[in-house]
Amino acid sequence: MTSPENAGKTATRHVRCPQCGGDAEWSPANPFRPFCSARCKQIDLGAWASEQYRVPASQPDEQRSFESTSPFSSRE
């Protein structure tokens, strides 16, 4: 139940900034969400650009050749 003082107000959700660990407001009022500031957002973007973060991928199988998997290879 909502108290009369809080009627019409919505609770602002705060999350942890993934860059600095500080509080970040999760609302349309914060254009940098989930980050707390433009600085933290730019630092994170720079880390992706310099390949400090990587998405894991499996290594290609060395035994398979391109010709055997190509749909354009000629079959005799």
Asked, for residue 63, whether it belongs to a domain, the answer is no
Band the pLDDT of 74: cuts 50, 70, 90.
Answer: low
Asked, for residue 65, whether it belongs to a domain, the answer is no
pLDDT in tens, 17-52: 999 999 999 999 999 999 999 999 999 999 999 989
What total of structural domains would you count in the chain?
A: 1
Asked, for residue 30, whether it belongs to a domain, the answer is yes
> What is the domain range of residue 22?
12-51
Average pLDDT over residues 51-67: 73
> How deeply is 35 buried, as exposed, middle or buried, from its count of CB atoms within 10 A (0-12, 13-18, 19+)?
buried
Residues 8 and 2: their CA atoms lie apart, in Å, by 9
pTM: 0.57
Q: Any idea what the CATH number is for the domain that residue 26 is in?
A: 3.30.50.10
Asked, for residue 31, whether it belongs to a domain, the answer is yes
